[in-house]
């Protein structure tokens, strides 16, 4: 009996010591990666030496990770993520890349401003969120087989097929668009089609 108690005590001390040595980290507000290789540094702030540890490969605009599995991977790398909000999944998006200059964005702005779209009533929870407030979003204007694109910051969160206002960070102009996928939106005549059939655009 004494031997069993000693073994249990040793195991408890070992577990406590491992937890104490783990480096506490915080989930980034908007995890992104720029090369398709998702690392702990892309996901957590303060990952330190474990920042380059890969945990997933992203194929497409985003990848969704199981929070429990991610927590275990972080622990194996010596990081302690407590998941205080009880998340079940964590999404990592493709980095938006460099913002276009004013000279590049100005012609598209002119076209976008000339083609306002009808606003739809926003119903929270009606569609899966694909754009979060302050996300960098690629806005595409489609007409007559011609595509023009600008980068901007989302002024609000939006689900697939829902309207979203995007501010062009180069000109500070606000563009009315419709969310068409993670980090993507459509403006102009194509916006009505994206709102009516969002899954068609999301599959592209």
Q: What is the pLDDT along the chain (204 residues), one digit of tens a residue?
A: 554 554 444 444 344 444 445 789 999 989 999 899 999 999 999 999 999 999 999 988 999 999 999 999 999 999 999 998 898 999 999 987 544 443 344 446 434 444 444 444 444 445 688 999 999 999 888 766 777 888 899 999 988 888 989 998 888 888 888 888 898 988 877 777 777 666 655 545
pLDDT of residue 73: 93
Q: Which two tokens stand for residue 50?
A: 């474990």
CATH 2.30.30.760 fits 102-202, yes or no: yes
Q: Which residue has the tokens 């901007």?
A: 152
In sequence order, which residues have a C-beta less than 8 Å from that of residue 71 and are 6 or more positions away? Answer: 81, 83
Using CA atoms, how far apart are residues 159 and 172, in angstroms rounded to an integer?
A: 23
In sequence order, which residues have a C-beta less than 8 Å from that of residue 171 and are 6 or more positions away? Answer: 102, 105, 106, 109
Using CA atoms, how far apart are residues 188 and 197, in angstroms rounded to an integer?
A: 15
Would you kindly state where each structural domain of the chain is located, as residue ranges? 2-94, 102-202
């Amino acid at each position: 009996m004494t031997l069993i108690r000693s073994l249990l005590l040793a195991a408890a001390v070992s577990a406590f010591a491992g937890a104490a040595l783990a480096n506490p980290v915080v989930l980034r507000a908007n995890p992104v990666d720029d090369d398709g290789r998702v690392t702990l540094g892309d996901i957590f702030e303060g990952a330190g030496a474990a920042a380059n540890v890969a945990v997933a490969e992203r194929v497409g605009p985003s990848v969704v990770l199981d929070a429990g599995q991610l927590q275990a991977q972080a622990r194996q790398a010596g990081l302690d993520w407590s998941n205080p909000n009880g998340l079940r999944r964590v999404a990592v998006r493709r980095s938006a890349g460099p913002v276009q200059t004013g000279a590049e964005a100005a012609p598209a702005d002119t076209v976008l401003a000339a083609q306002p779209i009808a606003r739809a009533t926003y119903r929270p929870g009606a569609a899966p969120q694909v754009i979060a407030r302050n996300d960098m979003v690629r806005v595409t204007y489609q007409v007559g087989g011609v595509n023009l694109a600008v980068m901007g910051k989302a002024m609000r969160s939006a689900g697939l097929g829902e309207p979203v206002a995007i501010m062009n960070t180069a000109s500070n102009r606000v563009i009315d668009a419709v969310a068409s996928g993670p980090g993507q939106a459509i403006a102009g005549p194509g916006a009505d089609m994206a709102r009516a059939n969002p899954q068609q655009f999301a599959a592209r």
